[in-house]
Structure 1
Amino acid sequence: MVQTIIKRSDAPLDTRDLQLCQRVFDEIRAAADIPRKSEEGERIAAIVIELFRQGVRNPEHLKLLVQGARGTFPEAAER
């Protein structure tokens, strides 16, 4: 898969940024019943942060992109 990074920011995340990322992480993790302190939990957290740094700020977009990166897509009925 070809990955293109557009406008990646290395600026530190502020409190609001971290809160948004934490909320998205917690929602994805809870929905998939993944322990917070697990290898998969760490992978999800890393994906959320990387996507956020690439400019994805919408929580729903973050969730969908993380699910795509993990190969787990939501059911059509959930949308």
Structure 2
Amino acid sequence: MEEHFGNRRDEPLTSEDLNVCNNVLDDLCAQMDITDNGTVTHLASIIIELYRQGVHEPEQLKLLAGATRDDPDP
């Protein structure tokens, strides 16, 4: 039996939500000169996760998602 507790992570994003996330991704990739598909995909997943957690302001999304790129690779 499937239970729902109002978990926003399980709700599909609307086209408007995806538009915001895509614009943030495009801006970040342009600013950081990211062209590698794996890196773009990873960054997109971070942006979507932040968005689902309630960060909907594009500048805040850019700041938080961009900060993950400042970490050195392990």
- Please classify the TM superposition score into its range, dividing by the shorter chain length: 0.7 to 0.9
Question: Which of the pair has more CA radius of gyration?
Answer: 2
Structure 1 residue 9: Cα displacement: 2.8
TM-score (norm 2): 0.78
Aligned pairs, number: 65
Give the whole-Å Cα distance in 2 for the aligned partners of 1:64 and 1:33.
16
Where does residue 63 of structure 2 map in the other structure?
64
- TM score, norm. by length of structure 1: 0.74
Q: Share of identical aligned residues, percent? A: 43
Q: Which residue of 1 aligns with 2:16?
A: 16
CA contact (8 A) 1:20 1:59 kept: yes
Gaps of 5+ in 1: 1-6, 73-79
- Structure 1: which 4+ aligned runs deviate by more than 6 Å? none
Instruction: Give, in angstroms, the shift of residue 8 of structure 1.
Output: 5.1
- In the alignment, which residue of structure 1 is the partner of 2:37? 38
Equivalent residue for 1:26?
Answer: 26
The letter for the 2-side match of 1:61 is: Q
Equivalent residue number for residue 4 of structure 2: none
Unaligned runs of at least 5 residues, structure 2: 1-6
Deviation at 1:54? 0.5
Conserved 8 A contact 1:10-1:53: no
RMSD: 1.7
Supply the distance in 1 between the matched residues of 2:9 and 2:59 (Cα, whole angstroms).
20
State the partner residue of 1:75: none
